[in-house]
Structure 1
Amino acid sequence: MSRLPLGPAETVVDLAAIRANARLLRATAGVPLVAVVKADGYGHGAIASARAAQQGGADWIGTATVEEALALRAAGIQGPMLCWIGGPDADYAAAAAAGIDVSAHGVAQLDAMAAADAGRTEPARVQLKLDTGMSRAGAGRGEWAALFARAAEGERDGTWRITGIWTHPACADEPEHPANDRQEQAFREALVLAGEHGLRPELRHFANSATALLRPSARFDAVRCGIALYGLDPAPGQATDIGLVPAMTVHAPLALVKDLAPGDAVSYGHRWVAEHATTVGLIPLGYGDGIPRHASSPAAVQPAAVGIGGKRRPIRGTVCMDQFVVDLGGDRPEVGSDVVVFGPPGAGGPTAQDWAEAAGTINYEIVTRIGGRTARTYVGGLDEQDPT
């Protein structure tokens, strides 16, 4: 057994990849691109990701909350920006002052926006979010007429300008699912009704990443791309490869190499027992840093792995808060060796999609949850230091 002083685990974000992905998505869709940087840019850093996306041709920046959008404005991110979740305490007045488009899901929310914007001389920028079948946020079919009527009233009195009408697909990663046709048809019906109320929005948008790649009829006036912006496949096995490049690579130093005898058990619960003599390595990352504990479940079809010395090293035993163990198969790589937890193909380890399949989840979750004690480093041009 041997130990050396450890450097920090590191999340490397390639901004050149984000710029290139933005260009590809914009060109593929053929309509304006809303680059989604919510949840701290899906774990890649919202500020740097927004800048890189704009450099790659993104026309809009999208966030979930008003607070996320205001933070981007405070960091100097300019240009059209849309946010779509606003609770009772959302600062609509600040959003309007910053030129941020906010989303209204119903008449009550429009009324709250009108109260917040009372006294403004310039109309606020408001988009209307419709529920066409996801049964999540958005005005349902029975509310559309009232929503459009109130929206048109506010346009006439100068309270706001309705800049967009949009919805979100529920089953975009399953292109043959009948919900896709139903939702697109419902959205088209809603747009007709909106026009009958006198609304003429700049943007009608439906498509998320998977829809943007798989359903040309639903691209409308813009596409909203989140996970694809960061180079990950939004519909594994379904979408055509357009050359997206994963932007995140997670590294850690190998912390320890240890010999195991037959019958030695590893980690909490002794869920894995060595059948023969082997060596194992300790990786100083755990679920406190975003490594999914369920990736080590005995029920996993294929255990998650890391890359060390160009070989895949599978997890053995339960992922802990701060560390996990991998099987070195009798090898003894030097302590301090680079461990590729995941990254793009060719980086010497598995991909985020490999981890997602091992954990029974989606690649979105794998990259978004990474953080904790890992240091974030930028390469590929501007913002090579984390602006946060």
Structure 2
Amino acid sequence: MNERAAQGTAALRARAEIDLAAVRANVRTLRGLAPGAELMAVLKADGYGHGAVPCARAAVAAGATWLGTATPEEALALRATAGLPDDVRIMCWLWTPGGPWREAIDAGLDVSASGMWALDEVTRAARGADRPARVQLKADTGLGRGGCQPGEDWSALVAAARRAEAEGLLRVTGLWSHFACADEPGHPSITAQLTRFREMTAYAERQGVRPEVRHIANSPATLTLPGSHYDLVRPGVAMYGLSPSPELGTPADFGLRPVMTLSASLALVKHVPGGHGVGYGHRYTTPGATTLGLVPLGYADGIPRHASSSGPVLVDGKWRTVAGRIAMDQFVVDLGGDEPAPGTEAVLFGPGDRGEPTAEDWAQAAGTIGYEIVTRIGSRVPRVYTDA
């Protein structure tokens, strides 16, 4: 048996290359689709796995005036480390009781309230602050997750917010909601949610609420539903150059470019005979004499185990397929007798310019969505920022 081991360093094991020029171009494209609205660059989950701080700076440079995160901790970290202009607003929406309300107020963050408990907590925190809290009221228009129910609950939340405004404790800076099925063209819930949002915002405004922004448009709505753009659009995955769903179109259809390219260096290339089992459980057996390549990435790095025996990889100009199970730190591809040198680049996904697979190809292989493919790439994989 002939085998060759790679001599590279640990730093070359794998890399996620992040193209900040693509981030800026995508933001400019999305702004062009919603010319009458401001743009919030959504940076939750460390910028969908791309790195929140560099992507925030790139997005702001391209015209984003708002940044959005899920957790207050994410938002506080952005405010502290990103070095952004003071007039860039940062909003966070996923709160639980006992959260860092006072810290958020002091940092000038916009916080979200979906129910009375949240409004009560932020109001109490604002009593000892030097500035009023910036609060956005979230309406549940049909998604059934966060957000205040229409009717009596919404009326009570709006009334309590107005009382706190009158005391100078907070300012209602936004009214907002989130779509359930905007990535499914023609779904009846889209029209129903827009109608409900219009009704709930109109009620709040009749009660004296004067929001800076009203917003409901996520990535698919930004791309395909101009009637949903209101004052602000909130693209997330589209900013990173991925399509929200294949049914809507490819990134290229919308003028978007994927930002992340994930690659690794082959750690081993070896000859094996036919009938040779590969990986745990021998879920793959070589059909004949061949060569195998060892890719030093695994599910501990975020490579989905569900893509075992199906995930695509570009090696030496050819598409290969994961042979057998993806393990914690590595997987194997059948090279079909070819003998690329150890250290040869294996590209799991990227924009597709060089014929490599895309994140959507991996999503199809794993039975998931492109969002999950990029966000799950772990911290063992260094991010390398470029300005292509």
The TM-score range, normalised by the shorter chain, is over 0.9
State the shift of 1:121 in Å.
4.1
Q: How does 1:17-32 map to 2 (within 5 A)?
A: 17-30=22-35, 31-32=37-38
Counterpart AA for 2:125: A
Counterpart AA for 2:301: D
User: In structure 2, what is the Cα distance between the partners aligned to 1:199 and 1:117?
Assistant: 19
Per-residue displacement from partner, 1:220-276 (whole Å, max 9, x unpaired)? 111101100111111223147221111101111011112232221211111112222
State the shift of 1:323 in Å.
0.2
Cα RMSD, aligned residues only: 1.3
Instruction: Point out 4+ residue stretches in structure 1 off by more than 6 angstroms.
Output: none
Matched with 1:5 is: 7
Per-residue displacement from partner, 1:306-339 (whole Å, max 9, x unpaired)? 1111110111100000000011111111111111
User: In structure 2, what is the Cα distance between the partners aligned to 1:249 and 1:262?
Assistant: 33
- Sequence identity, in percent? 53
Counterpart AA for 2:127: A
Q: What's the secondary structure of 2:93's corresponding residue?
A: strand
1:361 to 351, 355, 368: 368
Q: Is the 8 A contact 1:290 1:372 kept in 2?
A: no
TM-score in terms of structure 1 length: 0.94
Matched with 1:128 is: 137
State the shift of 1:348 in Å.
4.2
Q: Is the 8 A contact 1:258 1:280 kept in 2?
A: yes
2:122 to 113, 130, 153: 113
Unaligned runs of 5+ in 1: 298-302, 382-388
Matched with 1:205 is: 215
Matched with 1:60 is: 66
Q: Is the 8 A contact 1:60 1:80 kept in 2?
A: yes
Per-residue displacement from partner, 1:12-65 (whole Å, max 9, x unpaired)? 101111011111101111211100001000000000010000011111000111
> Which has the larger displacement, 369-378 or 94-103?
369-378
Counterpart AA for 1:377: V
Matched with 1:36 is: 42
Q: Is the 8 A contact 2:106 2:130 kept in 1?
A: no
Matched with 2:147 is: 138
Q: Is the 8 A contact 1:205 1:221 kept in 2?
A: yes
1:234 to 244, 247, 255: 244
State the shift of 1:77 in Å.
2.8
Matched with 1:378 is: 385
User: In structure 2, what is the Cα distance between the partners aligned to 1:152 and 1:4?
Assistant: 66
How many corresponding residue pairs? 376
Q: What's the secondary structure of 1:207's corresponding residue?
A: coil
Q: What's the secondary structure of 1:288's corresponding residue?
A: helix
User: In structure 2, what is the Cα distance between the partners aligned to 1:292 and 1:346?
Assistant: 23
User: In structure 2, what is the Cα distance between the partners aligned to 1:95 and 1:358?
Assistant: 41
State the shift of 1:133 in Å.
1.0
Matched with 1:164 is: 174
Counterpart AA for 2:315: I
User: In structure 2, what is the Cα distance between the partners aligned to 1:112 and 1:5?
Assistant: 57
Q: Is the 8 A contact 1:288 1:372 kept in 2?
A: no
1:255 to 233, 249, 267: 267
Q: What's the secondary structure of 1:335's corresponding residue?
A: coil
1:352 to 331, 355, 359: 359
Unaligned runs of 5+ in 2: none
> Which has the larger displacement, 6-15 or 60-69?
6-15
